[in-house]
Structure 1
Amino acid sequence: MGQGHVETTEYDVVVIGAGPVGENVADRVRAAGLSCAVVESELIGGECSYWACMPSKALLRPVIARSDARKVPGLAGAVQGPLDAAAVLAHRDSFTSHWKDDGQAAWLDGIGVRVHRGHGRLDGPRRVTVKSPEGERHVLAARHAVAVCTGTRAALPDLPGLAGARAWTSREATSAQSVPGRLIVVGGGVVATEMATAWQALGSRVTLLVRGPGLLPKMEPFCGELVAEALREAGADVRTDTSVTSVARDGDTVTVTLDDGSTVEADELLIATGRAPRTDDIGLESVGLTPGRYLDVDESCQVVGSDWLYAVGDANGRALLTHQGKYQARIAGAAIVARAQGVPILETDRWGAHAATADHDAVTQVVFTDPEVASVGPTLAEAERAGRRVRAVDYDMGSVAGASLYADGYKGRACMLVDLDREVVIGVTFAGPGAGELLQAAAIAVAGEVPVDRLWHAVPAYPTISEIWLRLLETYRG
């Protein structure tokens, strides 16, 4: 190749980012016969595979299993000892493939997707320039679409002393190779509560510092209350309505100063206060867009004002969850293929093939704390802010026969939201052991807009925790 010459390769679709979302976009367009390339600057498989979903749940699974077993007569006495932390960390390492992406790279190759390793940046309409780790440049030209699937990164607050404190973000919290003796967690959301749960159970003395009045503020209030109670029972120090004013590290000790002037010391500090889009260095300015922001998209995930650029997954800020991003990838992939083939787009069909309606009407989420929390659709507060006429029905999950068999002293709560104008369920929240496995039935009810009277005929098996559905419906009908 001559000096200064930059090779250009043309594909039907170019995807920037090879996490679960980018992989699914590539899979969908390849299945329809379009050629596709993906660009990845880190590991193929992305944040979820190596620093989020998979390692965090591998850390939490033994924690939850032990907690459940301790509530079962005849088994409780056998599981009173500590977790084998080394075995748990090794189990976690296996789920990340020891931070190697050979298997996922081979899968992309197997479906005919070309992988370009390096940093990808938009370079004008339908063009992506890739700078390889060796410093070589390559231009990828897209006939039909470029999909930005770059996800998010941890958002760090502007806090005095933080830069030199060697603080953990979610990446370090899920990949640490040893258990810190003391861990301070700043934040009250999903990452904060899950990692506090995991590391407390693995042997850390955890202090959880929450700026607001409770945990999990985006969910029904009882969720955060149950999780906070369980964390305190496990030995964690949970402090709400408190703010961090500065951080300092001296050798192996990090000191956090609070707004009341008191201090907390630990060996490690995890900052879990939010996420920010990874759109700051991908060339958005070359196509007239502002870097560093979530990209505004239509229901098919096409960037507003463009006929070729898509933003899929966390990059558009619609629903910062891996499974919702993969759902968007299926929708966007179908839309890209339809437009490439000249097929009419069905974006106006709310539940059609080209509209990501679930992103605002049926978002599902599970928080893998102890107890688990699971939800689909809006909370009561969100529904009321939106001006919807709804009724909330609450029920104690522990009073269901299946729950009492699941665990002695089962603590849990369920809430069902009914749209009174249409008589359909629009939201459901469960908090309790095993709650995550209840969620898909709720998601089907919400996405399917199943009338309450028809749900009456969906008979839950006895004795299972799913009988909570019958109790919620009986309470609603009165």
Structure 2
Amino acid sequence: MTEAVEYDVVVLGAGPTGENVADRTRAAGMSTAVVESELVGGECSYWACMPSKALLRPVITRADARRVAGVRRAVQGPLDAPEVLAHRDDYASHWKDDGQVGWLDSTGARFYRGQGRLHGPRKVVVTGPENERHVLTARHAVALCTGSRAVLPDLPGVAGAKAWTSREATSAQSVPGRLVVVGGGVVGTEMATAWQALGSQVTMLVRGKGLLPRMEPFVGEHVADALTEAGATVRTDVSVAAVQRDGSGGPITVVLDDGELIDADEILFATGRAPRTEDIGLETIGLEPGSWLRVDDSCRVEGSEWLYAVGDVNHRALLTHQGKYQARIAGAAIAARAQHVPLLETDRWGAHAATADHDAVPQVVFTDPEAASVGLSLAEAEATGRRVRAVDYDLGSVAGAGLFVDNYRGHARMVVDLDREIVLGATFVGPGVGELLHSATIAVAGEVPINRLWHAVPSYPTISEVWLRLLETYRG
């Protein structure tokens, strides 16, 4: 059976990004279809943000409590791993999407479950679970919001070793005795933190010289020290050459480049992601299957009048909140163009430009200690050719930090444009710093002058008083 229907907008992918594109175009009065081959809610809801943070929250809570006088002796026992995993299952909705389908229906968008593929300009063909076909034509726009997927390296033995990616690491139903984590980025450090605390003996193997290399260097040093103190083994400047596991699913042997062998029960490869664009019909419109898609600041694919690529697929900022931000921008741009309203192309911070993707991307890494950053690092700012200065402060010297936990260890840095006297970036590492980040994001995105920030008085005694200390250090 084949159904042919026309909509103003067709959205391919119903993760947070696709949901938000649909919400914005529906709010503008545009008829919208949404196509999803897996679960509505996408990677974030079932295999990334929500389950990973559900795993990490008890880990961080216990770690912080152990640093507070009068509490630490009450929390010396192990975590209740079955309870933590059950709590995680609840937050992943037990891998059922009924609730999110209900929300999507409430927007007035039409939901199609099945594999959607482009079939020439403005046309998407959906093959449903019963092999039914729907031919959807878009009057104004098709938005590709299919996200990204974890990539396993092409190494001997990996294919048969049942190696974990981020999906298995966030959904595993038991705690492995020995876990090898390959990669030192966000997924690697967060999952090493979680599973070490739940009872695994974790060994991290990192090809580079440190953890979290996209953040300021001091961040990775703090996180590596904490993981080591927790009992994990962190090894840098090492590479995996092969993985060995027999067909019965028994122990794993990891072979390093120098021939050293490491035994494990599971291995997680957290070594990169690829766009989920390999099977969506890009070849029918002259684009390369499996490629990242280049877009302008309204998220419209370069060279097209009707195709948008929003979220991970455009490779601008692979973060759920940035995908949702882009969705709001793209939705507004789609509606404006449909109504022949001129876009605010000259306004960098206007309704139709995803400028934050370049200048104000915030990110929290939920390790112990937490790490948080927004905007440019010192190295990135220097690479732009601007006159800049890094202002550093020991977070443990802030009164509120000392009250938060005993013997607080952490660090803060803001990067200042010396000519414009605005904050280009800020980075924090330490317990609880994730909640500092939005103030920094406002300062960076708002390009708030340093002299005006002087009048933003932090409450005493909170960790946010570090802003006053940074400003005092800058002024000298």
Task: State if a TM-score over 0.5 links the two structures.
Answer: yes
Q: Please say if 1:237 is aligned against 2:233.
A: yes
**1:412 corresponds to 2:413:** no
Equivalent residue letter for 1:38: V
Task: Report the equivalent of 2:256.
Answer: 258
Is residue 267 of structure 1 aligned with residue 274 of structure 2? no
- Give 3-state SS (helix, strand or coil) of 1:347's partner: coil
Which amino acid in 2 is paired with 1:411? R
TM-fit CA distance, 1:385: 1.6
| Mapped partners of 1:406, 1:135: distance in 2 | 57
Looking at structure 2, the residues matched to 348 and 174 of structure 1 have their Cα atoms a distance apart, in angstroms, of 43
1:66 corresponds in structure 2 to 62
The equivalent residue for 2:299 is 301
- The partner residue of 1:421 within 404, 407, 419 is 419
How far did residue 167 of structure 1 move? Answer: 0.1
In structure 2, the residue matched to 1:432 is 430
Task: Look up the equivalent residue of 1:95 and give its one-letter code.
Answer: Y
Question: What's the counterpart of residue 333 of structure 2?
Answer: 335
SS at 2:221's partner residue?
helix
2:163 aligned partner, one-letter code:
A
| Counterpart in the other structure of 2:32 | 36
Computed over aligned residues only, the root mean square deviation of the Cα atoms, in angstroms, reads 0.7
Q: Tell me the CA shift for residue 291 of structure 1.
A: 1.3
**Which sections of structure 1, spanning at least 5 residues, go unmatched?**
none
For residue 371 of structure 2, the aligned residue among 373, 377, 383 is 373
2:59 partner letter: V
TM value normalised by structure 1? 0.98
Tell me, yes or no, if structure 1 residue 104 matches structure 2 residue 127.
Answer: no
Equivalent position amino acid for 1:99 in 2: W
Query: Which residue of the partner structure matches residue 113 of structure 1?
Result: 109
**1:32-181 alignment to 2 at 5 Å?**
32-181=28-177
Aligned partners of 1:393 and 1:241: how far apart in 2?
30
1:476 equivalenced with 2:467 (yes/no): no
2:280 alignment partner in structure 1: 282
Deviations 1:417-474 (CA, angstroms, capped at 9, x unpaired): 0001111001000000001000000000000000001101111111000000011001
CA distance in 2, matches of 1:230, 1:261: 28
Counterpart selection for 2:439 from 425, 437, 441: 441
Is 2:5 aligned against 1:27?
no
3-state DSSP of counterpart to 1:162: coil
Aligned residue identity for 1:472:
L
- Which residue identity does 2:351 align to in structure 1? A
- The answer to whether the 8 A contact 1:393-1:472 is kept is yes
CA distance in 2: counterparts of 1:227 and 1:241, whole angstroms: 17
The equivalent residue for 1:207 is 203
Distance 2:269 2:190 in 1: 13
**Per-residue CA distance 1:41-96 (angstroms, 9 max, x = gap):** 00000000000000000000000000000000000110000000000000000001
Separation (CA, whole Å) in 1 of partners of 2:65 and 2:397: 19
Q: How many residues are paired up?
A: 474
Q: What amino acid is aligned across from residue 367 of structure 2 in structure 1?
A: T
**Aligned position for 1:187:** 183
Aligned-pair CA distance for 1:378: 1.1
TM-superposed CA distance for 1:347, in Å, is 2.5
- The TM-score normalised by the length of structure 2 is 0.99
Give the Cα separation in 2 of the matches to 1:348 and 1:16.
29
Secondary structure of the residue that 2:159 maps to in structure 1? helix
Secondary structure of the corresponding residue to residue 382 of structure 1: helix
Distance 2:258 2:5 in 1: 60
SS in 2 for 1:449: coil
Give the superposition deviation at 1:261: 1.3
d(CA) in 2 for partners of 1:238 and 1:263? 16
Given residue 383 of structure 1, which amino acid in structure 2 is its aligned partner? Answer: A
1:453 paired residue number: 451
Query: Is 1:391 the equivalent of 2:389?
Result: yes
C-alpha separation in 2, matches of 1:173 and 1:376: 27
- One-letter code aligned to 1:283: G
Q: Aligned equivalents of 2:336 and 2:370: distance in 1?
A: 40
1:164 aligned counterpart, secondary structure:
coil
Instruction: For residue 123 of structure 1, report the CA deviation from its aligned partner.
Output: 0.5
Contact 1:29 1:337 in 2 (8 A): yes
How many angstroms does 1:348 deviate by?
Answer: 2.6
Structure 2: gaps spanning 5 or more residues: none
Residue 317 (structure 2) aligns with: 319
**How far apart are 1:388 and its partner, in Å?**
2.0
Query: For 1:192-250, what per-residue CA distance to the aligned partner results, in whole angstroms no more than 9, with x for missing partners?
Result: 00000000000000000000000000000010000000000000011001000111113
State the distance in 1 between where 2:51 and 2:39 align: 14
In the alignment, the residues of structure 1 paired with residue 386 and residue 267 of structure 2 have an alpha-carbon distance, to the nearest angstrom, of 41
**Inter-partner Cα distance in structure 2 for 1:297 and 1:155:** 23
Identical residues among aligned pairs (%): 77
461, 464, 469: which one aligns with 1:463? 461
**Counterpart of 1:397 in structure 2: which amino acid?**
L
Provide the residue aligned with 1:403 in structure 2: 401
**Equivalent residues of 1:299, 1:355 under 8 A apart:** yes
Within the candidate set 10, 18, 25, 1:14 is matched to: 10
| C-alpha distance in 2 between matches for 1:265 and 1:135 | 45
- Render the CA deviation track for 1:377-433: whole Å, top value 9, x for unaligned: 011111112222210011100000000000011110001000011110010000000
1:195 and 1:363 map into 2 onto residues whose CA distance is 22
Aligned residue identity for 1:166? K
Q: Take 1:368 and 1:348, find their aligned partners in 2: how far apart are those partners?
A: 37
Letter in 1 for 2:86: A
The runs of at least 4 consecutive aligned structure 1 residues that moved more than 4 Å come to none
Maintained 8 Å contact 1:348/1:355: no
